């Protein structure tokens, strides 16, 4: 009476949670059972062929009762094969559903993990921070362009027109110098400027000859 009014002192026991089922183990059991059903179905089909052959042989032997009994046994086995076929269909359906459920669960877990990852990454990013990074990159690019322009200008030569004018002037000066040298080298001899001097060796030979002739004349006169 008191228990009904106030309840038991120990309280109601909590319902125990059902044990967790391992999908892999379940798949293994289903595969094993499918294999067993297939083996049994093949064995029964062989028995049916044997019973049919037995019925034909007994019919030829005029054993009608034995032939009929063999056919009855064959008919019973046909029902067993039909039952095994139904079991095979159910087992295959179960295995397919579990495979599909496993695949769906894995896809869901992957999508859930991906969604959490995206949330974490988005928390690390801020639109203000992105704008600040963008401005900093643009400033760095502007500084780099300015330095590049400086070095390009430093390496540029003077105006090409001025350089060509200077080159033309040098060519004109060189042409004048070459012309002057040619005029000096081809100047003709001035014959009216005075007597041409004889070489010293020729004058000495002439004096020697005159002395010899004078000595010869003195010898003849003596």
97-107 pLDDT tens trace: 999 999 999 99
Q: What angle do CA 190, 196, 201 make, to 5 degrees?
A: 145
Architecture label for domain 22-125? Orthogonal Bundle (1.10)
Q: How confident is residue 13, by pLDDT bands cut at 50, 70 and 90? A: low
User: In 3D, which of 34, 128, 132 has the Cα closest to residue 85?
Assistant: 34
Decide: 70 and 55 in contact? Cβ < 8 Å. Answer: yes
Q: In this predicted model, which residue has the larger pLDDT, 186 or 92? A: 92
Start-to-end CA span in the chain (Å): 207
Q: Calculate mean pLDDT across residues 78-95.
A: 94
Domain residue ranges in the chain: 22-125, 127-183
Only one residue has tokens 């079991």, namely 87
CA distance readout (Å), 101 to 77, 104, 222: 36, 5, 166
């Amino acid at each position: 009476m008191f228990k009904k009014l106030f309840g038991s002192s120990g309280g109601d026991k909590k319902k125990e949670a059902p044990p967790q089922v391992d999908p892999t183990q379940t798949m293994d059991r289903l595969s094993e059972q499918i294999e067993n059903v297939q083996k049994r179905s093949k064995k029964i089909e062989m028995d049916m062929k044997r019973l049919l052959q037995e019925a034909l042989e007994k019919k030829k032997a005029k054993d009608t009762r034995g032939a009929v009994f063999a056919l009855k046994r064959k008919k019973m086995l046909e029902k067993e094969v039909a039952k095994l076929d139904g079991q095979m269909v159910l087992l295959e359906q179960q295995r397919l559903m579990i495979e599909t459920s496993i695949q769906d669960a894995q896809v869901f877990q992957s999508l859930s993990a991906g969604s959490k990852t995206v949330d974490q990454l988005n928390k690390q990013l801020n639109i203000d921070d992105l704008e600040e990074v963008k401005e900093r990159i643009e400033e760095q690019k502007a500084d780099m362009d300015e330095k590049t322009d400086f070095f390009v200008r430093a390496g540029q030569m003077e105006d090409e027109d001025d350089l060509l004018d200077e080159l033309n002037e040098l060519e004109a000066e060189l042409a004048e110098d070459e012309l002057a040298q040619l005029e000096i080298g081809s100047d003709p001899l001035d014959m009216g400027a005075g007597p041409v001097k004889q070489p010293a060796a020729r004058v000495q030979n002439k004096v020697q000859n005159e002395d010899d002739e004078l000595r010869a004349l003195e010898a003849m006169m003596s």
